[in-house]
Amino acid sequence: MASCIGQTILVKGQLLAAEDIHIAGRVEGEILLQEHVLIVQPTADLNAEVAAKSVVIQGAVRGDIIAGHSIALQHSASVSGTLAAPRIAINEGASFNGKVETIRES
């Protein structure tokens, strides 16, 4: 089961969860989902540091992203920051400005 942060919601501060999260709104701060998946939907706007098991980005993210398994930037993604994960995929059409680091799977 996953929870959703809707398009009209703004979260400021630290977001901690023990389940998968879908974000369609705005988050400013830090997102910690160590053993779970973060889906950043096309309408999402994140200005946040992210740590999760896996991250799929379709919207906008400004901040560093660390994933224990994988990071995927879809064609509609706009990302600025460092990506660190064992597996990183940047699809054609995605906008990315930053640094890519491959790390060991955790």
pLDDT tens, 18-51? Answer: 999 999 999 999 999 989 999 999 999 999 999 9
pLDDT at residue 95, as a whole number: 97
Could you read off the pLDDT of 54-69 as tens digits, one per residue? 999 999 999 999 999 9
Structural domain boundaries of the chain? 2-102
Cα-to-chain-centroid distance, residue 40: 6
pLDDT at residue 60, as a whole number: 98
Q: Taking the C-alpha atoms of 90, 20, 106 and 56 in order, what is their torsion angle to the nearest 10 degrees?
A: 0
CB atoms within 10 A of CB 64: 17
Output the pTM of the full model.
0.95
